[in-house]
Amino acid sequence: MESITNETLQNAGARNSNKEVILVTGSSGLIGTQIIKRLSKNYRVIGLDRVGDPFPPPEAECVCYNIASEESIRAAMKRISYGYGDKIASVIHLAAYYDFSGKPSPLYEEVTVKGTKKFIEVLQEYNVEQFIFSSTNLIYKPTSPGIKIAEDCPLAPNWDYPESKVDTEEIIRDNRGNMSAVLLRIAGVYDDKGHSIPIAHQVQRIYEKQFTSHFFSGDTSHGNVFLHLNDLVDALEKTVEKRKELPEEIAINIGEPTTPGYEELQNKIGKLIHGEEWETYEVPKTVAKIGSWSMNLFGDPFIKPWMIDRADDHYELDISRAKKLLDWEPRHSLMDTLPEIIKTLKKDPLTWYKENKLEAPSALEKEKK
C-alpha cells in the first residue's frame, strides 16, 4: 500500500479547508474504521497506518507510516502539514501491539511504548490541541463482584499488554508538552457480530458442544467488563467534541456499568444456542493447567496456562467520570447483545466463523459445499 501524494493532500485540504483536522492511528482496524466514518461528517480525517495494512475507509485520506521509526513518522507528518497545515484538533491514537497468546514480545516495547514516545515527540513540532490514547481496563488491580474500579484505584497489570499501556500512559504524561491528554481506559470491545476474541471463543465452545465448554478454572461469578463498539465510537466522538472543556490531563473509564459473571454468560449463550442452561463446573487450577497443556499439544490452541492464572480476575468499572465530563454512558450491554450475536451465528455459521477468525468445524465446511 502506497501513501497518497502531496498533490492529493493539497487538493483534499483545499476542498475541506473549513473543517478541523483529526488524525487516527491504527486507522484500518475495527475501531479506527468506525470512528473515521463517524467523525468524517464534521472533520477532515487522516488515517495513519502501516504499509501493507488495508486502507482506512474512503472517508479518510490515507498516509502510511511506521510508528517504530522516527524518520517515517516525520515524513508522514510532513505530508499531512503540507496538505492540511500544522493545526490538528485531535489525535486519536489506537495503534498498539497486541497478542492474545500472552507470550512476551519485544513489540510491546518497540511499537506501543517507544513508538508512542517517538510519535508524541514529533507532534510537539505541530499545533496539536488534544491527544487521545486508547488504554485498557486491564491495567487495574482486579476487584470483586459489586466493587467498582475508579480511575484513581490501584494499578496492577499482570501481563505484557496492560504493562505496555501503563508505561505508555506515563510517557504521554511526561512528554505531552502543550497538548491536552485523555487516557481512555477502555473495556473489551465487541459488536453485533462478536468481534471479541474471548466472547467468540466462548460462543464457539458452546455451539460445538466442546467438552471444555463445561469447565472453568476460576470463580464463575467473576468476569471482565465489556463495551459495544458503537458506544466506544460515541465516547471517542464526545471526547473530541469536548476537548476545550476537559482538564489538560485526565484518565477516563469507558465500559459498561455492569459485569456479567462467567456462569451468567455461559447460561445465556447455552439458552440462545441450544435452548438450555449450560452446566459449568469449577476445576482446580493445577488440573486445568494440565488440561490446557494437553489441549495445546493436541490442537486446541485457545486456552492457555496464563489465562488459567488470571481466571479469577474480576473487573467492574465506575464510569461516573465519563458521565460527568463527557456526558456519556453506554446504550448497549453484552447480555442484551448476545441474542444478536447468536442470531448472526445461526443465520450463517461459516461466515460468522470467518468474521471472528475461527476455524470452522469440518461439518460446516462440507455443508457450505
251-276 pLDDT tens trace? 999 999 999 999 999 999 999 999 99
Q: What is the band of 99 on the pLDDT scale with cuts at 50, 70, 90? A: confident
Q: Which three cell numbers stand for residue 196?
A: 471479541
Alpha-carbon span 130 to 236, nearest angstrom: 12
pLDDT of residue 2: 39
Amino acid at 172: I
Please give the Cα distance from 175 to 121 (Å, whole number): 7
Q: In whole angstroms, give the CA distance from residue 22 to residue 43.
A: 7
Hey, how many other C-beta atoms are within 10 angstroms of the C-beta on 100?
12
What are the φ/ψ torsions at residue 216 (nearest 5 degrees)?
A: -145, 140
Per the structure block, which three cell numbers stand in for 322?
465519563
Mean pLDDT of 70-77: 97
Cell numbers standing for residue 12 = 483534499
Of the pLDDT bands very low, low, confident and very high (cuts 50, 70, 90), residue 297 is very low
Give backbone dihedrals phi and psi of 174, rounded to 5 degrees, phi first: -80, -20
C-alpha–C-alpha distance, residues 95 and 80, integer Å: 18
91-95, 100-104, 164-168, 183-187, range with the lowest pLDDT: 100-104
Neighbours of 279 (CB within 10 A): 12
- Per DSSP, 113 falls in state I
pLDDT at 298: 40
Most distant CA pair in the chain: distance in Å?
A: 64
- Residue 308's pLDDT band, with cuts at 50, 70 and 90, is low
- Position 63 scores a pLDDT of 95
The pLDDT, as a whole number, for residue 303 is: 55
CB atoms near residue 335 (< 10 Å): 14
Computed over its alpha carbons, how large is the radius of gyration of the chain?
21
| Mean of pLDDT values over 190-209 | 96
- Among residues 135, 136, 183, the alpha carbon closest in space to that of 313 is found at 136
- Residue 285 has a pLDDT of 61
Residue keyed to cell 460445538: 208
Q: What is the pLDDT of residues 326-342, one digit of tens each?
A: 999 999 999 999 999 99
pLDDT of residue 15: 45
Q: Do 127 and 86 contact (CB within 8 A), yes or no?
A: yes
User: Residue 225 half-sphere exposure, CB side, CA atoms within 13 Å?
Assistant: 29
Grid cell for residue 245: 472543556
Question: DSSP 3-state assignment of 226?
Answer: strand
| CA atoms within 13 Å, Cβ hemisphere of 122 | 22
Residue 40, judged by CB atoms within 10 A of its CB (0-12, 13-18, 19+), counts as: middle
Gap between the Cα atoms of 57 and 38, Å rounded: 11
- Would you state the cell numbers that stand for residue 11, as one nine-digit string? 487538493
* pLDDT score recorded for residue 292: 53
Q: Cβ(15)–Cβ(61) under 8 Å?
A: no
Q: Coil, strand, or helix at residue 6?
A: helix
pLDDT of residue 1: 38
Rounded to 5 degrees, φ, ψ at 162 are -65, -30
Task: Check residue 268 and give its pLDDT.
Answer: 98
CA separation for the pair 56, 62 (Å, rounded):
7
What is the Cα–Cα distance from 283 to 277, expressed in whole angstroms?
19
Structure-model confidence comparison of residues 66 and 99, the more confident one: 66
What is the number of helices (H) and of strands (E) in the chain?
Answer: 15, 11
Q: What's the pLDDT at 3?
A: 44
Could you tell me what percent of the chain has a pLDDT over 70?
A: 87
Over 60: is that where the pLDDT of 151 sits? Answer: yes
- 286 pLDDT more than 70: no
pTM, two decimal places:
0.91
- What's the mean per-residue pLDDT of the chain? 90
Q: Which residues of 169-178 are buried (b: 16+ CB within 10 A; e: fewer)?
A: bebbeebbee
- Which has more confidence, 283 or 62? 62
User: Residue 176: pLDDT above 80?
Assistant: yes
